[in-house]
Amino acid sequence: MYDYRRSVPSYWEDTTESDNDEYRPLAGDEICDVAVIGGGFTGLSCALHLARDFEIDVRVLEAGSMGWGASGRNGGFCCMPATKLSVEQLIHRVGLEETQKFYRMQLDGMHLVRSLGADENIDFDLQGDGNLEVAHHPSRFAGLTTHAETLTRLFGIRTRVYSREEFAETHHDSTEQFGGMHMDAGFALHPLRFAKGLARAAAGRGAVLHSHSLVRRWERESGEHRLVTARGTLRARRVVVATNGFTQEGLHSEFDRMLIPAISNIVTTRPLTVEELARHRWQTQNPICNTRTLLFYYRLLPDNSFLFGARGDITGSPQAGERMRAWMTQRLGEVFPGWRDVPISHFWRGLVCVTRKLAPSVGRLEDDPSVWYGFGYHANGVNTAPWVGMKLAQEIAGHSGDSMEIPAIMKGLAPRFPFAWMRRYALGCAYLYYRWQDARG
């Protein structure tokens, strides 16, 4: 999972023009004001905003190519929320006002993605006019209806609930479709084109980007940071940690045991024919999640290929990957039996980031305020990570502008996980429990 030299065998890679690794690796001794570690949505948006809006001298160090991490290989759902806490749990923890602020941030993140596309001329194949959630079991429909009502009442998000029959008539049918909800927020996009577009925009505004520049050591010397890669050293006054699920232990002691990297997996089919689409009455361009805790997420791509994603596997080994591919192919065929024999064109996976507070961590270190961080989007970073990158840039520059403060639930680090080695097994146990719970309905 951490072989940064390996290109990702994704549908997105095959449908994106190569940038021929235009960002040279760091070499020799270099210096800058702000060094960003990680070239995904968080790091690239931070660099773009620092360079474009504040003319700050910024460099990005990325271990792979730009967007190599989760940003260039996700499902492309610009959706919400970036937390595993329910609305009720959020209100219990931070109160109604802060919960509303968090949801407002989630909507602002979606607007930001759209405007970055327009302002920076990034063509990321925008699709759809909202997000859909589907009850995977009859018992989940009532909860979906209540959730839709909550989203409208508390956060002003327009929703519409459909019975099973109505949903089949207007969106799609499947063996796990027992009614659905349309949320008038978000859309779908091509994530790798978005990441590469952000990189180009940041570089065009003066940020210096270095791909294939894994930070191996981080030293502190006479008031400055020294980030050491295989071939160079970058000295910086301030550092932004934007490594999310790919953060490895030992990068900086403050981030050790801070997160669980969880694997998310995706298969895509070859383009479906009109006749095949009709087998499931497929009529929507919107991205769809179902109500499983270990959710299935799926969408139709612009060329009518079908993308189907799922959580699972705790080892990340190639053998486990093969088993995951087989399991997902089987599950896709069970949920959409009309497509059982359609060949799979791509399988890939990546790491999402879970924190102990089950919500993002954004801020600066108390013991060293020259270090900033943003991570922990709980597999919901397409709208959240660019916003966090922008917010970090504004805070670093000391100009919050008109944008809102960081919502309380996202502020600061979460408590550490007690034992690093136990995290994987704890996750495995949670998966078993959720599978059992999801199957019961």
Out of 300, 314, 382, 393, the residue judged to bind ligand FAD by CB under 6 A: 382
Q: Are 133 and 144 in contact (CB under 8 A)?
A: yes
Q: Are 340 and 330 in contact (CB under 8 A)?
A: no
Out of 68, 187, 347, 373, the residue judged to bind ligand FAD by CB under 6 A: 68
Residue 50 interacting with ligand FAD (CB under 6 A): no
Contact window for ligand FAD (CB under 6 A) among 17-25, 95-103, 230-238, 241-249: 241-249
Phi, psi of 372 (to 5 degrees): -115, 160
Residue 379 interacting with ligand FAD (CB under 6 A): yes
**Amino acid making up residue 432:** L
- Provide, rounded to whole angstroms, the least separation between the CB of residue 63 and ligand FAD: 4
Residue 377 interacting with ligand FAD (CB under 6 A): yes
Residue 58 interacting with ligand FAD (CB under 6 A): no
**Would you say the C-alpha torsion 147, 152, 157, 163 has a positive or negative sign?**
positive
Contact window for ligand FAD (CB under 6 A) among 200-208, 322-330, 356-364, 379-387: 379-387
Strand boundaries in 242-280, DSSP class E: 259-269
Residue 385 interacting with ligand FAD (CB under 6 A): yes
Distance of CA 228 to the CA centre of its chain: 27
- Provide, rounded to whole angstroms, the least separation between the CB of residue 97 and ligand FAD: 25
Out of 1, 4, 91, 358, the residue judged to bind ligand FAD by CB under 6 A: 4
Out of 39, 81, 180, 312, the residue judged to bind ligand FAD by CB under 6 A: 39
Residue 363 interacting with ligand FAD (CB under 6 A): no
**Positions 187 through 216 that interact with ligand FAD (CB under 6 A):** 214-215
Residue 308 interacting with ligand FAD (CB under 6 A): no
Task: Name the residue whose CB lies closest to ligand FAD.
Answer: 381
Residue 245 interacting with ligand FAD (CB under 6 A): yes
What strands lie across the sheet with 159-162, from one edge to the other? 159-162, 180-183, 131-134, 288-290, 296-300, 306-311, 259-269, 344-355
Contact window for ligand FAD (CB under 6 A) among 25-33, 76-84, 231-239, 419-427: 76-84
Quote the CA–CA distance of 424 and 15 in Å, as a whole number. 33
Partners of residue 355 on adjacent β-strands: 259
Helix (H) or strand (E) holding 181: strand 180-183
Helix (H) or strand (E) holding 346: strand 344-355
Phi, psi of 135 (to 5 degrees): -70, 120
Contact window for ligand FAD (CB under 6 A) among 38-46, 129-137, 314-322, 396-404: 38-46
Quote the CA–CA distance of 350 and 356 in Å, as a whole number. 20
- Provide, rounded to whole angstroms, the least separation between the CB of residue 318 and ligand FAD: 16
Helix (H) or strand (E) holding 132: strand 131-134
Contact window for ligand FAD (CB under 6 A) among 159-167, 176-184, 371-379, 403-411: 371-379
Quote the CA–CA distance of 8 and 211 in Å, as a whole number. 15
Q: Of 127 and 264, which has the nearer Cβ to ligand FAD? A: 264
N-terminal to C-terminal alpha carbon distance within the chain = 32
- Provide, rounded to whole angstroms, the least separation between the CB of residue 407 and ligand FAD: 17
For ligand FAD, the binding residues (CB under 6 A) are: 4, 37-43, 61-64, 68-71, 73-77, 79, 214-215, 242-246, 251, 264, 266, 309, 349-352, 375, 377, 379-382, 385
